[in-house]
Amino acid sequence: MALLSQWRGSKVELKNNKGDGGRRNNHWNANNLPAGARSIVEADRDASSWRQKLQAMEKILCFDDPGWADVDALGYASVYLFWVGVGAVACVEDGTHYRPNHHAGCAMRIYESLEAVERLASDGGGRRAEEVRALIRRLHPRLPAFTAEFMQSVPLTRIRDIAHGKGDRDGKCREVRQEIKHTIQNKLHRCAGPEDLVATEAMLAKLTAPGSDYPEEFVEEFRIFHRELKDFFNASTVTDRLDRLLVEGGGGVGDVAEACRGFMRAKTTVDGIGHDNGGSADVVLLAALEGALSALCDARRAIDNAVRHGELSSAAPDQRQQWRLAEIGLEDYAFVLLSRGINALGAESDPPRAVLTGVETRAALRFLAAASAATALSAGGGGAEEFAAVAREAGDLAIAGSDGMPPSGDEGALRVRAVAERARRAAEDYCSLLSELFDGRAAALGGALGINEGTVDVFTEGQIRASVVFQSTKLASHLLRAARTATGEAGWDCLVPGEVTGAQLKCVARLDPSDPAIAGACAINPVVLLVTSADGDEEVSTLGPGVAGILLCHALPHLSHLALRARQARVPLVAIEDPALVQLAQSLQASPSGVRLSAQPSNVTLEAAAKEAGGGGGGSPAPAAFAAAPAAFAAAALFADVSRAGKVVPLGELGALSWDSAVAVAGSKASACSRLSAIAEDAAADFRAPPGAVLPFGSMEAAAVSAGVDRHLFSLLDALEAASSSGKGAAEETARVCGELQDLVATLRPSPQALAAFSAQFSCGRGADKVKVMVRSSGNAEDLAGLSAAGLYDSIANVDVCQPDSLGAAVAEVWASLYTPRAVGSRAAAGVGQRRAAMAVLVQAMLVPEVSFVLNTRHPLTGDANVAYAELALGHGETLASGAVRGTPWRLSMDRTVPGKATVNSFSSFAAALVPDLNGDGLLRHIPPPCTSPSLSHSSTLSSTQRKRRCVRLVGCNHHSRYPPLSLILSCNHPSRCSQAPPLRCARAKLRKGGLRGGLALRSETVNCASHWLTVDAKRRSELAGRLVEAGGLIEQ
């Protein structure tokens, strides 16, 4: 608890008389405080002594219902008790005489309450579990011990014997004994507080100071008392605590005892190795640290399991507290071991080392695995799952190459990079959680109690920097540095090439057109935006001509909606993946002549512009390869054939129409899917297309007529046309009209006959279980030259087609997405009228792909027509399209002239996969990546012919426009049907402007992400690349 190195209270003076009871330097201002903070401030005002403060905390922390414990109360209490422990909140005598057993009893009741709260929160999981565990693990060490020796009526009697002369045979210590009596003994026995431990440490320092001549027997007695007092304040070292517990427990804790002894042996080995041996001794040190961290993690897991579910779960509360504190102490000691390892790897040198040997890389990965495993045990909730996944991946990768070493070469470096990216992101997310828990609470409580501003300001940073998760960020950053050095990367990722010179750099939180930095930009005074975060919903065209370039402070898929929009708008887009480069960019805000940004696939440069460049600038023209398609394509696509309005058209029937007729009825998206369904009906086809049907153009307007609101709808459309064409000044009016339109359209419903037709299409009412579908937008103002509208309109996932209310509401939601301010602004920027925009609704069976992909048939950065480019991710394709899930995908560059020849540009570092929520309509939920290893990569008993059949198959269709939509199927035989002709499971895809989006449905078994076949199986990747290139070739037929 309170140690001299952390003490923030008044200086403790050693006195030979009673003196006064101390002074409280705090003040108490409970005005305008949240309830949790106010209750603590008011309680502290009336509680001068440590005992009174603990009793006040008992009232706050002993919840009537542990399942409904107040996180706010836990948060403020953890901050408050920390400050009490270090003297920032003063404890003084209260004029009463209560021995330390009263403090111990209070602590026992608080501990049992916290234990119940933590258990119930952990059982519930989720964000609450993470918050509760983070707070309670910081509360436990702030409580005194309540073991039997401290619960007796007269505890800590050794200090009385010392004050009375024990060990001072010749009477040399008479003066110092008076100081001990008045400063420590009497004070401790009438009104104990953290200041007594500080006074004891000060006295021990005096007794053992160089040149002192106190009797050794007397000094030794005081040392023993010092250890006893540290035990009471729970300030013992982890080794002292474990030694005591192992002696007291004997052989009664089985596996726990053996695991703890294993750690003690490993620690002794590390302690015996010098810090500065250099050369080969470093290898010995790294190996010893690896062993000690592994043993430490084993001991923590053993203790945690025993306390939660094993032999210690039924032990007395005082024993559970001591073992829990031992486990927390082991986590703290992991910080020490990791610090030594980080220093040995050169991560803290100036400058940090950028090249690691194979042995050092293995050690760094194992250290990262240990740090992640340590945090996983502490975190709870989803954070625990993610840290556990990182620990597995890092541990597996450390020995995934030859001879038990990490993989070598560029692919090895890319795999290290993927694991390190995921680890750093997890650590940063957890640090953000700690910041959210403590920043506001520390500021509010500190100000109300009159705590020194410096103490308040560093509180959260101190909590983070003293934690193992902070070591994770150091290790991940060090591995990233080494991986980038090995691959020649620099921490920049060019998504859209281009050059900007002379534009001012402005920092914004998001790409919001209403942000003053964006709204005030113009072509004469352009800006380059440094954007903190993007989720893929942003529209580049609505930012205006003043935005000349975008720097995004996190990774983003190259083929995401946002990247596609920036590419179409010819706005250079760069993702910054190194925090040091973000700081560099921020430092350029003050450049009077603006900045120069050069973004190329092979190199990105950001620097202050030369003085003569100030005041001008802008993005360079896009390469010829990215030139827009003919304007006639856009004009033709804005036609809508409403002759089938209100009628449900099966995809097979739509596919029987000519391409232009089908597009006019239901848009290019539905038409491409209908063409695929038509091909699937061919007897020679060896695949199944997902069933589906479409509600054509004009159906929304027909629903408005049926509801008697058609005049109101059309008048609002007229108002929208007028407002959206009036420029930025009419933004508020446009938003108002959009809101009215969306509210109106959301009330519309397809006819009962149409809803029944959809249900019949999916066999509802014929013994089928719930049938979930994807309700998709298919507009006439998307997939156009000059207006891709990628991700602009809503598609509703996981809808029960057998429930008319759910299906009707989902259709209305898709219709209403035609009139979001973002969609309206995008059409206006492209010169597309609002009255001519129409929306059809495509309904298809909901599939659950294990692997989703986006494919461009020419390289999106270089424009090379001989290189196809694909990005892949686990789960639903929204991960790739929206960019809302942080991380990088698998990236493949494929030589179209040499089928199967592919280069891996990155391995996936995504931490979550999107899957349908089977218990809800219209929902996708995040889960840790299933990291499945499809059966096609594991069976060694299949013939080469069978293996070929089990590889991915692609089937597409094309039409005569320059950018043909292409529907795509990827499928894999079920193992039991390997020798039979399909039917096969399948997933759907679509082409966007020379690119494909699709999914791969495969039987799987769960393995570590580092072992996924897309990562480890080069042969299968080559086969996949060949099939993707084969599909791309269909586009140009």
Catalytic residue numbers read 561
Nearest to 142 by CA among 114, 122, 119: 114
CA 862 to mean position of chain CA atoms: 31
Residue 276, SS3 per DSSP: coil
Rounded to whole angstroms, the Cα distance separating 565 from 686 reads 36
Tokens 């609101």 belong to which residue? 709
Q: Give the tokens for residue 712.
A: 């109101």
CA torsion angle 353 358 363 367 (round to 10): 70
Rounded to whole angstroms, the Cα distance separating 706 from 1030 reads 48
What interhelical angle do 381-397 and 409-449 show, nearest 10? Answer: 150
Dihedrals φ, ψ of 940, to 5°? Answer: -100, 0
Nearest to 961 by CA among 1035, 1031, 1034, 865: 1035
Amino acid identity at 627: A
Dihedrals φ, ψ of 5, to 5°? Answer: -70, -20
CA 149 to mean position of chain CA atoms: 46
Q: Give the tokens for residue 387.
A: 């840290």
Amino acid identity at 193: G
- With beta carbons less than 8 A apart as the criterion, state whether 931 and 1009 touch: yes
Rounded to whole angstroms, the Cα distance separating 215 from 655 reads 100
Helix (H) / strand (E) containing 998 = strand 995-1000
Rounded to whole angstroms, the Cα distance separating 97 from 189 reads 7
In a 10 Å sphere around its CB, with 0-12 CB exposed, 13-18 middle and 19+ buried, how is residue 947 labelled?
middle
Q: What is the largest CA-CA distance in the chain?
A: 114
Rounded to whole angstroms, the Cα distance separating 271 from 266 reads 9
Rounded to whole angstroms, the Cα distance separating 991 from 997 reads 6
Q: Where are the alpha helices (DSSP H) in 46-157?
A: 50-61, 71-85, 100-124, 126-139, 148-151
3-class secondary structure for 304-323? HHHHHCCCCCCCCHHHHHHH
Q: Dihedral sign for Cα 732, 737, 738, 739, please.
A: positive
331-353 burial, b for 16+ CB within 10 Å, e for fewer? Answer: bebbbebbebbbebbbbeeeeee
**Side by side, which strands form the sheet with 796-800?**
649-650, 692-695, 839-845, 772-779, 796-800
What interhelical angle do 409-449 and 358-379 show, nearest 10? Answer: 40
CA angle centred on 100, ends 96 and 101, rounded to 5°: 110
CA angle centred on 881, ends 1037 and 856, rounded to 5°: 25
Strand 547-552 relative to strand 527-531, pairing: parallel
In a 10 Å sphere around its CB, with 0-12 CB exposed, 13-18 middle and 19+ buried, how is residue 403 labelled?
exposed
| Bond preceding residue 572 cis, omega within 30 of 0 | no
Rounded to whole angstroms, the Cα distance separating 737 from 962 reads 36
Q: Where are the alpha helices (DSSP H) in 488-630?
A: 516-519, 561-569, 579-587
